[in-house]
Amino acid sequence: MNPPQKKLRVAILGSGNIGTDLLIKSMRSNYLECTAFIGRNLVSQGMQMAQKLGVPISSNSISHIEENPDCCDLVFDATTAKDHFIHAAVLKKLGKIAIDLTPAKVGGMCVPAVNMEECLKQNNVNMVTCGGQASIPIAHVIGKTQKDVEYIEVVSSIASRSAGPGTRVNLDEYIHTTEAGLKLFSGAQRTKAILNLNPAHPCINMQTTVFAKVDNPNIDALKPELERMVKTIQAYVPGYNVILGPIVENGRIAVIVRVLGLGDYLPPYAGNLDIINCAALSMAENFAIERLEYK
Amino acid sequence: MRTVTITDVTLRDGNHAAAHQLGVKEVELYCTALDAAEVPIVEVGHGNGLGASSLQLGESKDSDEKVLKAARACLKKSKLGIHVIPGFATIEKDLRRALDIGVDVVRVASHCTEADITERHIRFVREAGKTAFGVLMMSHMISPEELLEQSRKMENYGAEAVIFMDSSGNFLPDAVADRVKILVNSLNIPVGFHAHNNLGMGIANSVAALSAGASYLDGSARGYGAGAGNAQIEVLLAVLQRMGHPISIDLLKLLDAVDAAEKAFIPQTPVISSASLVSGLAGVFSGFALPVKRIATQFNVDARQIFFELGRRKVVGGQEDLILEVASELAQQQKQQQSQNQLQQQTQQQNQENNYVTRK
């Protein structure tokens, strides 16, 4: 596939860890051009980086897009769930595609390895959560290969330093959204999500464990599907790897994955940032291919 | 003399030792007895608190709702307390319901460096008009100054006391006293301490905390709690009496309660097992004791090696899934070692045979 002549113009709302990492990733893309980096504070680290990279910046938050509706075709929202409720209405009115990285769940939940095609038909997609991006594909193949999935539980541990103030204030929403995503994509009757912040130095790599309670665990059926799924994810998250399992322990299926980031804005241990951003970027690129008809 | 408020945590911390099988029956029995003894605060629930029943940590025998309702019905004079860790329990799923049932005291806990995740939960409890305390777990992992910085955050969110926990049973008395002093001098809210007994310091550390200015202490019946257990509440009470501290609890009735608890649901009073001792030295969360034991047996590896490796990785409470990873790695290393040894033996044998042949 040749890179397109014309790129999809994207704006990034939110100049924190997620937004700044997205900026670096989108600068590398053959399909995207970052035409606005928008926050609330011009002196933040992210803003300064955007300025250095020559990307137009603004501290006017969503007003910048309202006042300059032609500045972009697609908006990554890396603010907070509370803010996205307001942003979503504005973006809808202006006809912009919204890729929502907060746990607001305004749009349909999107996990590229599982439901990319379906999501490309929508104008607001929700990237669930970092733990959701890491665990839902596994929960999905468990749901596909096991009979009567009674319960799925996901435990994610991330380095404290990779959890900014937004993530910390949104812990409850993180849990609710991840649980809803697990349920939707696995068909499990009950789901539970747990998040641990670990302050150890050197920082721990992002790790997620998926436990499943099923009637008669069928590891033989699960293994090949899981391998295929991992390859699909690795196409957009190269640092995604199964480090244990699938095994049956104490009557439950367990799979542990580790996500090493690309080390763009935060070091590689922040796989939690990387996986949700890689997923969002992959969606944006596919929107570009679809909407700009460079197939 | 300053009064000290005792919290009985048997029905919460003891759940670690009971694989979270203390349910309505045990709650009814022990809460009734503690209420008669007028123990100020009685904490109940899953070992890791509200909403923590899970495959990761162990599933509770009875739901939070059932347990809280049972405790509420039995506690007239004593206050009903719960432990809540954001990341496990959410306000909408768990906390709102618990307050509706009638919980009086909510101890909102985080790992010692992560106080800022407790803000929303503490504010919610205060806005609902209930008592909120901040709890910092695994506090041996940071300096007294860092502990103060985290405690200040909790105070700012509205916590009415800060309790720091020696979740690994790693502290010695001087370290406890240093921390209590700096907190008492710098905060405007009371300070509390929660002991574990891995190095046999449960009571000594509690006394050190009290002498340094602590106002809240935790204990459990016969010390029934995670790993090597907590400060033994009846011993703590007797020691406080000997020290001349004014205590509102009826000691004889407390002993009745503890005896009844032992008979009904403490199959084995806590001992400092070799594994618990290593766990305390390595600074690993005491709640890991049972899962480590189970997984060590399944993977046929030494539980003590698991604890040392977990300590090296600085795991925090809630990361129980890492036990699987560590055990599986140790098992692989063991296998490689064995096959290497076999190879060496074979080579030696071969060499001996060759020598024999040559000599012949």
- pLDDT range class, residue B345, cuts 50, 70, 90: confident
Q: Is B146 on the interface with A (CB under 8 A)?
A: no
* Torsion angle defined by CA atoms of residues B90, B94, B95 and B97, in that order, rounded to the nearest 10 degrees: 150
Closest chain B residue by Cα to residue A168: B117
Residue B49: left (phi > 0), alpha (psi -120 to 50), or beta?
Answer: left
Query: Token pair 């406890």 is at which residue?
Result: B176
Q: Is A64 on the interface with B (CB under 8 A)?
A: no
Range among A169-183, B177-191, B281-295 rated most confident: B177-191
In a shared domain, residues A169 and A194: yes
Mean pLDDT for all residues in chain A: 90
pLDDT for the residue numbered B317? 77
Asked if the Cβ–Cβ distance from B120 to A169 is below 8 Å, we say yes
Lateral strand order in the sheet of A149-159: A190-198, A149-159, A206-214, A252-259, A240-249
In a shared domain, residues A113 and A193: no
In whole angstroms, what is the distance from residue A244 CA to residue B327 CA? 11
pLDDT for the residue numbered B1? 59
Instruction: Yes or no: say if A132 and A176 are a contact pair by the CB < 8 Å rule.
Output: no
Nearest CA among B197, B238, B134 for reference residue B205 = B197
pLDDT for the residue numbered B134? 98
Q: Is residue A285 part of a domain?
A: yes
Which of 32-61 (B) contact A at CB < 8 A?
A: 54-56
How near does any CA of chain B get to the CA of A244, in Å? 7
Q: Which residues of A touch B111 (CB under 8 A)?
A: 196-199
Strand locations in B54-190 (E): 79-84, 105-111, 131-137, 162-165
pLDDT tens digits, one per residue of A14-56: 998 899 999 999 999 999 999 999 998 888 889 999 999 898 8
In a shared domain, residues A135 and A66: no
Asked if the Cβ–Cβ distance from B316 to A196 is below 8 Å, we say yes
In order of A35, B167, B169, B222, B228, the CA distances from B271 in angstroms are 65, 16, 13, 10, 6
Q: Which residues of B touch A213 (CB under 8 A)?
A: 55
Asked if the Cβ–Cβ distance from B321 to A256 is below 8 Å, we say yes
Q: Is residue A42 part of a domain?
A: yes
Asked if the Cβ–Cβ distance from B54 to A192 is below 8 Å, we say yes
SS3 of residue B111 by DSSP: strand
Q: Is A164 on the interface with B (CB under 8 A)?
A: no
Q: How big is the CA angle at B319 (ends B313 and B323), to the nearest 5 degrees?
A: 70
DSSP secondary structure letter of residue B285: -
Q: Which residues of B touch A155 (CB under 8 A)?
A: 54, 56, 318-321
Burial of A138 (C-beta count, 10 Å sphere; 0-12/13-18/19+)? buried
In a shared domain, residues A81 and A51: yes
pLDDT of B103 strictly over 50 = yes
pTM: 0.88
Q: Which residues of B touch A254 (CB under 8 A)?
A: 321, 324
* Torsion angle defined by CA atoms of residues B229, B235, B240 and B244, in that order, rounded to the nearest 10 degrees: -170
pLDDT for the residue numbered B261? 97
pLDDT for the residue numbered B284? 92
Peptide bond into A268 cis (omega under 30): no
Instruction: Yes or no: say if B76 and B35 are a contact pair by the CB < 8 Å rule.
Output: yes
Catalytic annotation present for A130: yes
pLDDT tens digits, one per residue of B231-275: 999 999 999 999 999 888 999 999 999 999 999 999 999 999 998
pLDDT > 90 in chain A, percent: 65
pLDDT for the residue numbered B343? 82
- pLDDT range class, residue B357, cuts 50, 70, 90: low
* Interface-testing mutation among B167, B301, B321, with chain A (most A C-beta atoms within 10 A): B321
In whole angstroms, what is the distance from residue A98 CA to residue B128 CA? 37
Tokens of A249: 């322990």
In whole angstroms, what is the distance from residue B85 CA to residue B110 CA? 6
In a shared domain, residues A162 and A227: yes
How near does any CA of chain B get to the CA of A132, in Å? 14
Q: Is residue A2 part of a domain?
A: no
In a shared domain, residues A160 and A256: yes
The count of structural domains within chain A is 2
Residue B354 CA, chain-centre distance (Å), reads 60
pLDDT of B105 strictly over 50 = yes
Q: How big is the CA angle at A101 (ends A289 and A54), to the nearest 5 degrees?
A: 65
pLDDT of A58 strictly over 60 = yes
Tokens of B39: 């123990």
Neighbour-count burial for A256-290, b at 16+ CB within 10 Å, e otherwise: bbbbbbbebbbebbbbbbbbbbbbbbbbbbbbbbe
Asked if the Cβ–Cβ distance from B93 to A175 is below 8 Å, we say yes
In whole angstroms, what is the distance from residue B91 CA to residue B209 CA? 32
Tokens of B229: 């257990």
pLDDT tens digits, one per residue of A216-245: 899 999 999 999 999 999 999 999 999 998
Q: What is the 3-state secondary structure (H, E, C) of A101-154?
A: CCCCCCCEECCHHHHHHHHCCCCEEECCCHHHHHHHHHHHHHHHHCCCEEEEEE
In a shared domain, residues A123 and A250: no
Q: Is residue A21 part of a domain?
A: yes
Give me the residue from A155, A196, A200 closest to B313, CB to CB: A200
SS3 of residue B200 by DSSP: coil
In a shared domain, residues A139 and A116: no
A36 phi and psi angles, rounded to 5 deg: -160, 130
Residue B2 CA, chain-centre distance (Å), reads 26
Mean pLDDT for all residues in chain B: 93
Q: Is B324 on the interface with A (CB under 8 A)?
A: yes
Instruction: Yes or no: say if A24 and A16 are a contact pair by the CB < 8 Å rule.
Output: no
In order of A103, B53, B123, B222, the CA distances from B48 in angstroms are 25, 8, 21, 20
Asked if the Cβ–Cβ distance from B113 to A160 is below 8 Å, we say yes
In a shared domain, residues A143 and A206: yes
pLDDT for the residue numbered A245? 83
pLDDT tens digits, one per residue of A92-115: 999 999 999 988 889 999 999 999
Question: Do β-strands B162-165 and A32-38 pair in parallel, antiparallel, or remain unpaired?
Answer: unpaired
DSSP secondary structure letter of residue B222: G
In a shared domain, residues A156 and A47: no
Give the N- to C-terminal CA distance of chain A in Å, as an integer. 8
pLDDT of A3 strictly over 60 = no
In a shared domain, residues A48 and A82: yes
Q: Is residue A226 part of a domain?
A: yes
Q: How big is the CA angle at B314 (ends B312 and B316), to the nearest 5 degrees?
A: 145
Instruction: Yes or no: say if A198 and B316 are a contact pair by the CB < 8 Å rule.
Output: yes
A270 vs B51, more confident? B51
In order of A8, B176, B291, the CA distances from B303 in angstroms are 56, 28, 10
Instruction: Yes or no: say if B193 and B163 are a contact pair by the CB < 8 Å rule.
Output: yes
Q: Is residue A3 part of a domain?
A: no
* Interface-testing mutation among A130, A135, A150, A155, with chain B (most B C-beta atoms within 10 A): A155
pLDDT of A249 strictly over 80 = yes
User: Residue A251: which CATH number?
Assistant: 3.30.360.10
In whole angstroms, what is the distance from residue B351 CA to residue A168 CA? 64
pLDDT for the residue numbered A295? 44
Least confident residue range of B48-52, B177-181, B337-341:
B337-341
Domain range for A120: 8-127+275-291
Q: Which residues of B touch A272 (CB under 8 A)?
A: none
Q: Is A209 on the interface with B (CB under 8 A)?
A: yes
Tokens of B116: 């800022």
Instruction: Yes or no: say if B152 and B179 are a contact pair by the CB < 8 Å rule.
Output: no
Tokens of B108: 């909102």
pLDDT tens digits, one per residue of A128-162: 998 999 999 999 999 999 988 999 999 999 988 88
Q: Is residue A156 part of a domain?
A: yes
Q: Is A258 on the interface with B (CB under 8 A)?
A: no
Nearest CA among B210, A219, B85 for reference residue B202 = B210
In a shared domain, residues A162 and A254: yes
Range among A90-94, A145-149, B28-32, B345-349 rated most confident: B28-32
User: Residue A18: which CATH number?
Assistant: 3.40.50.720
- Angle, helices B289-299 vs B303-312, to 10°: value is 120
pLDDT of A215 strictly over 90 = no
Residue B283: left (phi > 0), alpha (psi -120 to 50), or beta?
Answer: left
Q: Is residue A165 part of a domain?
A: yes
Closest chain B residue by Cα to residue A204: B313
Query: Token pair 């034991």 is at which residue?
Result: B293
DSSP secondary structure letter of residue A204: P
